[in-house]
Structure 1
C-alpha cells in the first residue's frame, strides 16, 4: 500500500485521515448528544463536512500523484487547501461545542467574526482549488479519457463550490430587517431548519442550494471514476477499447453532469424542493436525459473497428493504474 501512495500529496493524505477520525467522533456525537440546532442534530453538520473532506482530500492527493509538470505549485496549492479546510472545520466544531451555528451566524460580534473567517477560508479554498485545476489541466497522460475526466471534473467542481457564494446573500426577510441574527441561508423560499430530507438534511418544502453545491463538488470524483470504469470495460467491450470513444463518452457525461448542476441550481433558486419538481423542471430534466442519451449513442457510433490513437496504451486500465501508483 505504501508504494501505491508514495507520490500522493502527503498533507492532503494526513488531512483526509484526520477527517476520517472526525467522522467517527461526529458519528458518536450524533448518538450521544441529543442537542438540536436549526432543526437538525447538532453533530450533523460536522459529520457531513468530515465525510465530504475525506473524499475531497483523497481525490486531490491522488490527482497530485499524476503531476509531471508544476508539482511544486501543485504541492503548495494542496497545502493551502489543507490549511483553509482545517480552519473551516475548527470553526464548525468549535461552534458545535458552544451550541451555536457556524454558518450565517450574526448573533454576537464573536459569532460574526467566526463566520467572516469561514468566508475567507472558502474564498482561499476555491482559489487554491482553481490553481490545482490549472496545473492538472496541463498534465499529459496516455489516456485521453482520463485527461478530460480530470479537466472537466475540476471545472464542474469549481462551479459547484462557487454555488456556496450564493448562500451568503441576504434573504428577503433579512433585507427587510425581519431577521437580524443571521445573514444568508441554505434554503430558498423557506427558512432554514424546517422539514428536511433524511440523511442529507436538505429542505423538503422549498429550494436548497446545498443540492447543486454537493452535486457539483463531487464531479471531481464521478467523472474520473467513469473514465476509470471505461478503461476497465475496454478489456471486455470492443468499442470501449477505442480511446476516441471513451473520450467522447466522458465529454458527453461531463456535459450532462454540468447540466444537472445547472438544473438543480435553477430548481433551488425557484424555491422548489428536490422531491417536488413542477412540470417545467420535469420537462427540463427529461430534455437533459434525452440529450445525454443521444450524445452517448453518437459517441458510440463508429467505435467498432476504429484504431487506437497514436501513442495510446493498448491497455488503458494499466496505464491509469500505473499513473496513480507513481
Structure 2
C-alpha cells in the first residue's frame, strides 16, 4: 500500500510537475485549515469559517492531481496552458476563500460591497473557464484512440469528465438563487466538513457527487470492474444518482429526511 502510493506520487511528478506541486500545495493547505478549525470558533452560516477553504483545498488538490494524470495520455496536447489556467484561476479562488474565512465573512454569494461583488464574479468566471477547458480535454478523450490503454479505463475517464463538467455547471444554479439551499438561505448542518442540510434541499449534494465522478469512476473501473460494459452501466447509474439528488434538492428535500415522529408526540 505504502509502496504503491509512493510509486504513484513519483509517477505523477514525472507526468506533470507543475500540477503535482500545485496539488501538493493545496493538500498541504488543507492540513493547516484542519488545525485552524480547531483553533478558532469563528463561524459563517452556523459552521466553522475554515471548513469552506478546507473543502476547496482538498477538492482543488484532487482535481489538479487527477487532471495531471489523465492529460499524460493525450497525444499532441500542449498541457502547459492548461496547467497555468488551473494554477492561476483556482489559486485565486482558494486564496480569496481563505482570506474571507480569516475575516469570518462569506466568499460565495457575497455582494455586500462592489469589491466583494467583483471578486465573487471573478471566482465564478474562473470556475467556468477551468470547466470549459476540462470539457475540451474530455472531447479529446472521446476523439482520440488509446491502443495501449484498457478500453474500460478510457471509457471511465470519458464519462467521468462528462459527468464532472455537467455537475460543475450546477454551480451556476446555486449562484442564480444566491444560496446552496432550497427552502432556506444557505442552511447547514453539523455534518462535520460537508455540512449538508438535514432540513431542506441542498444543491451541494449533487454538485459533490457529480464532480467527483472524475476520480471515482476511473478508480472503480481500473481496480474493480475491469470491463467496458460494466463501466458504462455503472457510470450511467452514477449519473442517475447525481441527477436524483439534484431533483430531490430542487424539491426542497434533504438527502436524508429526519424522523419527526418523536417531535410530534
Partners of 1:253 and 1:83 lie apart in 2 by 34
Number of residue pairs matched by the alignment: 250
Instruction: Tell me, yes or no, if structure 1 residue 213 matches structure 2 residue 175.
Output: no
Q: Aligned-pair distance for 1:140?
A: 2.5
Partners of 1:198 and 1:108 lie apart in 2 by 30
Aligned in 2, Cα 1:204/1:3: closer, same or farther, shift over 3 Å? Answer: closer
Q: Aligned-pair distance for 1:7?
A: 4.2
Larger Rg: 1
The residue aligned with 1:252 is 233
The residue aligned with 2:89 is 84
Partners of 1:138 and 1:9 lie apart in 2 by 22
Aligned in 2, Cα 1:14/1:188: closer, same or farther, shift over 3 Å? Answer: same
Q: Aligned-pair distance for 1:125?
A: 1.5
The residue aligned with 1:323 is none
Instruction: Tell me, yes or no, if structure 1 residue 272 matches structure 2 residue 253.
Output: yes
Q: Aligned-pair distance for 1:135?
A: 2.4
Give unpaired runs (5+ residues) of structure 1. 171-183, 232-239, 241-245, 278-326
Aligned in 2, Cα 1:3/1:44: closer, same or farther, shift over 3 Å? Answer: closer
Give secondary structure in 1 for the equivalent of 2:176. coil
Instruction: Tell me, yes or no, if structure 1 residue 203 matches structure 2 residue 197.
Output: yes
The residue aligned with 2:26 is 19
Conserved 8 A contact 2:49-2:102: no
1:110 to 104, 107, 115: 115
Partners of 2:71 and 2:188 lie apart in 1 by 41
Instruction: Tell me, yes or no, if structure 1 residue 94 matches structure 2 residue 88.
Output: no
Aligned in 2, Cα 1:196/1:266: closer, same or farther, shift over 3 Å? Answer: farther
Q: Aligned ranges for residues 143-158 of structure 1 at < 5 Å? A: 143-158=150-165
Partners of 2:214 and 2:127 lie apart in 1 by 17
Partners of 2:175 and 2:200 lie apart in 1 by 17
Q: 1:31-58, CA deviations, whole angstroms, 9 ceiling, x for partnerless residues?
A: 1011111111010100111111121111
Partners of 1:62 and 1:124 lie apart in 2 by 20
Conserved 8 A contact 1:196-1:205: no
CA RMSD of aligned residues (A): 1.9
Q: Aligned ranges for residues 1-326 of structure 1 at < 5 Å? A: 1=7, 4-5=11-12, 7-67=14-74, 69-72=75-78, 74-141=79-146, 142-170=149-177, 184-230=178-224, 246-276=227-257
Q: 1:199-249, CA deviations, whole angstroms, 9 ceiling, x for partnerless residues?
A: 311111000111000000010111101121137xxxxxxxx6xxxxx1000
Conserved 8 A contact 2:168-2:207: yes
TM-score (norm 1): 0.72
Partners of 1:194 and 1:6 lie apart in 2 by 37
The residue aligned with 1:237 is none
Give unpaired runs (5+ residues) of structure 2. 1-6, 259-265
Partners of 1:221 and 1:270 lie apart in 2 by 28
Q: Which of structures 1 and 2 has the larger relative contact order (alpha carbons within 8 angstroms, sep 6+)?
A: 1
Q: Aligned-pair distance for 1:194?
A: 4.6
Q: Aligned-pair distance for 1:121?
A: 0.9
Q: Aligned-pair distance for 1:5?
A: 2.9
Partners of 2:236 and 2:37 lie apart in 1 by 38
